[in-house]
């Protein structure tokens, strides 16, 4: 089905051609058929808010296409981006399972297709399908380790350069594509958003990226960032 925002929507999870490469989507056929009966599929434009930090959980959101920014905000208005969730990931999961408020705000970074499952329906789904329950436990464990690595990096790094080098390496491990010049990633976040991920200013990010280019660690052209010296970034990121 063609979505209002120019994205193709797959009405049924069992018909999705890429579901086998996704952690939560790769479920037994009977579980997927049940999921199809309880999910609501929608498309969202860039900048849409899926849920707000502090609000009671309505359900979970499974990202089919696009990326979603998860962030938390202090009382003084300082923003920290905790995660960039992409296709196949489930967000709002811990709040829906525990019944506590959403810990973060979820905002689409680009046009997205998202499946929504209400809390009650989702909990009944987990009770009925043991494999899905196991996948949720794995997903929550993965989230825990991701938060641990982020806290460790933010807390133990002695400089913004180390934090930025670690962030770039995380992107390389997740989405990097080998080229003749090095490993390429899409740099679709603004310098301000990158700063919000490593708890530093936009100006610092701009300066550091320029320094990394001068040191031939990276090359940037448009929205493409190529890591030319991965070992150099690894040495920088491991100083803490």
Instruction: Kindly report the backbone phi and psi dihedral angles of residue 57, in degrees, each rounded to the nearest multiple of 5, phi listed first.
Output: -70, 135
Q: How confident is the model at residue 15 (pLDDT cuts 50, 70, 90)?
A: low
Q: What percent of the chain has pLDDT over 70?
A: 87
Other Cβ atoms less than 10 A from the Cβ of 167: the count is 19
Smallest CA-to-CA distance from 90 within 60, 69, 66, 111 is with 60
Q: What is the DSSP string of 204-235?
A: HHHHHHHHHHHTTSEEEETTEEEES-HHHHHH
Mean local confidence (pLDDT), 197-211: 94
Residue 184: helix, strand or coil by DSSP? strand
**CA Rg value for the chain:** 19
Q: Pairing between strand 224-227 and 112-118?
A: unpaired
Q: How confident is the model at residue 2 (pLDDT cuts 50, 70, 90)?
A: very low
Q: Is the pLDDT of residue 88 over 60?
A: yes
Q: Is the pLDDT of residue 219 over 90?
A: yes
- Alpha-helical segments (H) within the chain: 29-38, 93-98, 119-128, 130-156, 160-175, 191-198, 202-214, 230-237
Residue 45: helix, strand or coil by DSSP? coil
pLDDT digits (tens, 9 = 90+) for 135-157: 889 888 888 877 777 777 666 66
d(CA 230, CA 183): 8
Domains of the chain by range and CATH?
A: 13-155 (2.60.120.10), 158-237 (1.10.10.10)
Q: List the single range of 18-32, 43-57, 107-121 with lowest mean pLDDT.
A: 18-32
Instruction: Quote the tokens at residue 127.
Output: 């009770």
């Amino acid at each position: 089905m063609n979505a209002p925002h120019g994205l193709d929507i797959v009405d049924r999870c069992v018909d999705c051609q890429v579901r086998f490469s996704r952690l939560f989507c790769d479920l037994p056929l009977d579980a997927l058929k049940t999921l199809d009966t309880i999910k609501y599929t929608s498309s969202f434009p860039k900048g849409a808010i899926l849920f707000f930090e502090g609000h009671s959980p309505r359900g979970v959101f499974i990202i089919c296409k696009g990326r979603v920014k998860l962030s938390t905000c202090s009382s003084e208005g300082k923003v920290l981006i905790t995660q960039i969730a992409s296709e196949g990931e489930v967000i709002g999961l811990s709040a829906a399972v525990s019944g506590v408020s959403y810990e973060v705000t979820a905002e689409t970074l680009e046009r997205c297709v998202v499946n929504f499952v209400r809390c009650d329906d989702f909990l009944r789904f987990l009770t009925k399908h043991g494999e899905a329950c196991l996948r949720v436990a794995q997903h929550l464990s993965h989230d825990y380790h991701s938060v641990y690595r982020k806290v460790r990096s933010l807390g133990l790094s002695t400089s913004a350069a180390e934090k930025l080098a670690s962030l770039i390496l995380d992107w390389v491990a997740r989405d990097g594509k080998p080229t003749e010049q090095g490993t390429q990633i899409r740099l679709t976040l603004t310098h301000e958003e990158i700063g919000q991920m490593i708890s530093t200013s936009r100006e610092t990010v701009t300066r550091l990226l320029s320094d990394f280019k001068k040191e031939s660690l990276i090359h940037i052209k448009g929205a493409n960032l190529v890591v030319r010296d991965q070992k150099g970034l690894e040495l920088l990121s491991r100083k803490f």
